[in-house]
Amino acid sequence: MNEKQWNEKCRRFNYMGFGKETAKLWFVGMEFRGMGDTPSTFAYDERVCEIASKQITEESTGKKGRTQIYNYMERIETRARGLHETMRHPQYRDEYLLQPEKGWSLFTNLYPFARPSTRSPLTPELVTLGFSSVEDYEDTVQTFRFRRLREFWYRNKPEYTICFGGERWADFKLLFELSNTPSISFKSSSDVRYYETKGLFLMPFGRRGWRKGALPGAVADAVGDHIRAHLAQ
């Protein structure tokens, strides 16, 4: 591994996310895609806002990839802020979501490098960075990145944390130390677990992972309404 590759590895492992650092609300996904030239430390200058906003718009509209995660984040956040009736989609997503000054949340991911799926082998990039197997990569992330990310979470103390990705629930539980934390099915939905003492939700990712007949959008609205009601107390 050369110096440039080592620096990239360190940059990705230490990247905490983007949005509002002191956010009341955290969104946590499974892995970063297309970080481009985002900085290695948490920052919120205008250039970073521009990068984040462009990524959100392109990925949500299908111009880059097919993720709809930002649309679900928008639904939850506008309901939590009580803005769902006055600010229509996609205005909030494109102008406010994850923007440090106007937004209300922070977005990060468990894993710093993307693979086609959780079952995929190492990508050429990960092999080049010195990982010998998927297990080696994931163990290294869990040992080093999870510790840094957990410390960052405890330090900033968000009121609520929403984790997307049923395939990685075991990793979310490891990151946020949930093994001995009681949880309930949120609003009688077996698809969503709610850890009340930590204000943390585990949800499937986008449209995937829901049982037949479930309404992910309706659940997202209910999560946002729950957050708004409890923050108002």
We report the CATH number of the domain holding residue 53 as 3.40.470
Statement: residue 140 has pLDDT above 90 = yes
pLDDT for 191-201, tens place per residue?
Answer: 889 999 999 99
Tell me if 172 sits within 8 A of 163, measured CB to CB: yes
**Inter-helix orientation angle 216-231/69-81, to 10°:** 30
How many distinct structural domains can be found in the chain?
1
Using the predicted structure, report yes or no on whether residue 182 has a pLDDT greater than 90.
yes
Q: Mean per-residue pLDDT for 21-45?
A: 66
Q: What is the pLDDT of residue 58?
A: 55
* Cα 187 to chain centroid, rounded: 22
Say yes or no to pLDDT of 50 above 80. Answer: no
* Structural domain span for residue 55: 3-231
Q: With a cut of 90, say whether residue 186 has pLDDT above it.
A: no
Give 140 or 209, the one with higher predicted confidence.
140
Q: What would the mean pLDDT of 173-194 be, rounded to a whole number?
A: 88
Global pTM exceeds 0.75: yes
CA angle 202, 165, 6 (to 5 degrees): 120
Position with higher pLDDT, 170 vs 188: 170
Percent of the chain at pLDDT exceeding 90? 39
In contact, 21 and 106? CB cutoff 8 Å = yes
